[in-house]
Amino acid sequence: MKPSNLGAFSELGQYELDRASILLLPESYCRQNQVCVLGRVDPNDTKPVTVGMLTPSDARVIDDVQRRLGRGAEPVRLNRYEIEKVVRTGSGQTSERGIVIEHRSEPRDDRNVTELLHHMIGDAVARRASDIHIESYADDVDVRYRIDGILHQVFTHLNPHNASEVISKLKVLCELDITEKRRPQDGRFRATVLLGLDRKEVDFRVNVIPSPDGLDCVIRVLDGSVGLIPVTELGMSGAMQRVFLRLLRNPEGLVLVTGPTGCGKTTTLYSAVRQINDGRRKIVTAEDPIEYDLPKVAQKRATPKMSLQELSRALLRHDPDVLLFGEVRDAAMGEVALRASLTGHLVLSTLHTDDAVGAIVRLRALGLDEDDIAASLLGVLAQRLLRKICAHCREPMLPTDQQAGLLGPLVDGIAFFEGRGCDLCNHTGYRGRIGVFELLLVDEGLQDLIAEDRHKTVLRRYVVGNGFSTMVDDALAKVNAGQTTVDEVSRVLPFRQLAIARQARAARLSQTAEADEGA
């Protein structure tokens, strides 16, 4: 057996942590020899088992592990902290910080506020919810989970009599003031959620706000066990992936990811950082808050005593090659991003705009200098998230009159599919989400237009005339491929973008018809 990955440390996040598989090696043995089992081991398979080791070149330990497992072993290098994390997962110990929540179909005691809270959180994680919404009314309490971008009403035992106690318990977990009921509060906590034999380390961000009938609460679910999505799986076309990754190899400049809240901007940026993190460049982040842990990246969080702008300026003195700023929110943050990108750093950040060209207009609106924008901006990736048709119940369909009317001339050449609904997708016809994108590259011609402070219409006309592919183009390609539906496109993409696309297609058809008549 030839040991593999004997060089740089591996990323633990790319391996599944299966409790039953980890327990194939005794806990004491793992700690004594600094070794652990990674991935899910099929007892009926004979393939080598991946094992994490502090010293993967130790032939004695490898031979002993193979003897104990009764099959081959492929070692990868982990550090002591990562091995300890795997061992703790196998032993069922409490996480280093936070609480342990065991998911049950029903709370053991619906009068116990801790049980009610744990049941709701465990149920949301089990259903792959990204948010939990608790809304208090005079005669009722609504609880809804956001799953694949859509809110779903769920039954819980929360009611006007116990909701305030449950939210108070939640405040205690977040170390918030339980007596404060007149002002909004933000907090966070971590929990280890047990789903059968599976174990998930989940961070929760909590916002509590007063309402006329009590307290409303939104809990953001950040499931770290899901792991970061590779750039290759975000939903970009192969050509766009190559161009985007080429942008990230620039030694300096500004790359922005834009879109509304909840469209996956942070996921895309984190995936990009993971892609370029080869150990040869120093990567630092300034975030508020830190949503996911990035292995071997210097992540820093803004605090009440150090704003995001102050933190970002301080990080420039740490000689970074790549800086990730959570968001360009205002002129001060924009100035920091431009200055950093103009002084030898690659800067990655997000911006709230409708489309890629809108990022240029937004930077101008912040009061930033047009020449600096033109000189620093390398590219803008705009994106949205659409629900994917359930692969288990997908079937072809004919477009409805409403769908055909929405697309107009865009309907030509498009195949239509839908999910009829099944147990796997909870009879919604959808399961999971996929990104739709447009990638704007700033060439010399566009630089000149930016420096001249030209109108957005002029900028858009220029880029479209140079082969720019819009989000509508990408979305319709995914409709045609059976990945999503026209209904999802109309739900997520702004009507204005669809109208512009219809007008452009109609104009091209008219020009073609005139050319044919002239011939």
The DSSP-derived string for 177-211 is -TT--SS-EEEEEEEEEEETTEEEEEEEEEEEEEE
If one counts the domains in the chain, the total is 3
Pair 356, 258: CB distance under 8 Å: yes
Pair 257, 265: CB distance under 8 Å: yes
Pair 257, 362: CB distance under 8 Å: no
Q: 237 with 293, same domain?
A: yes
Pair 348, 245: CB distance under 8 Å: no
Q: What are the distances in angstroms from CA 281 to CA 276, 321, 501?
A: 9, 6, 41
Structure confidence at residue 224 (pLDDT): 66
For 37-81, give the secondary structure using H, E and C. Answer: EECCCCCCCCCCEEEEECCCCCHHHHHHHHHHHCCCEEEEECCHH
Q: 205 with 311, same domain?
A: no
Q: 210 with 260, same domain?
A: no
Q: 125 with 193, same domain?
A: yes
Report the CATH number that the domain containing residue 56 is assigned in CATH: 3.30.300
Residue 400 lies in a domain: no
Most distant pair of Cα atoms in the chain: their distance: 85
Q: 443 with 369, same domain?
A: yes
Q: 50 with 148, same domain?
A: no
Tokens at 150, concatenated: 């859509």
Q: 85 with 108, same domain?
A: no
Q: 207 with 235, same domain?
A: no
Contacts 24+ apart (CB under 8 A), 496-500: 496/354, 497/354, 497/355, 497/470, 497/471, 497/472, 498/406, 498/407, 498/410, 498/472, 500/470, 500/472
Q: 296 with 269, same domain?
A: yes
Structure confidence at residue 8 (pLDDT): 45
Domain boundary among 67, 91, 115: 91
Residue 182 lies in a domain: yes
Residue 508 lies in a domain: no
Residue 407 lies in a domain: no
The structure's pTM equals 0.75
Q: 210 with 242, same domain?
A: no
Report the CATH number that the domain containing residue 482 is assigned in CATH: 3.40.50.300
Range of the domain at 302: 231-386+433-488
What is the chain's pLDDT, residue by residue, as a tens digit (519 residues)?
A: 444 444 445 567 778 888 889 989 988 899 889 999 999 898 888 899 999 999 999 999 999 999 999 999 999 998 887 888 888 777 665 444 467 888 888 887 778 888 999 999 999 999 999 999 999 999 999 999 999 999 999 999 999 999 999 999 999 889 889 888 899 999 989 888 888 877 788 889 999 999 999 999 999 998 865 556 888 889 999 999 999 999 999 999 999 999 998 899 988 999 999 889 988 999 999 988 777 778 788 899 888 788 888 888 889 888 999 999 989 999 999 999 999 999 999 999 999 999 999 999 999 999 999 999 999 999 999 999 999 999 999 999 999 999 999 999 999 889 999 999 999 998 999 999 999 999 999 999 999 999 999 999 999 999 999 999 999 999 999 999 999 999 999 999 988 999 999 998 888 888 777 777 766
Q: 160 with 258, same domain?
A: no
Count other C-beta atoms under 10 Å from residue 289's C-beta: 13
Tokens at 82, concatenated: 């990562």
Residue type, 16: E
Pair 132, 221: CB distance under 8 Å: yes
For 480-497, give the secondary structure using H, E and C. Answer: HCCCCCHHHHHHHCCHHH
Domain boundary among 63, 91, 119: 91
Residue 1 lies in a domain: no
Dihedral angle over CA of 44, 47, 51, 57, nearest 10: 150
Pair 478, 394: CB distance under 8 Å: no
| Beta-carbon-side half-sphere exposure of residue 273 (alpha carbons within 13 Å) | 30
**Angle formed by the axes of helices 238-247 and 265-276, to 10°?**
70
Report the CATH number that the domain containing residue 207 is assigned in CATH: 3.30.450.90
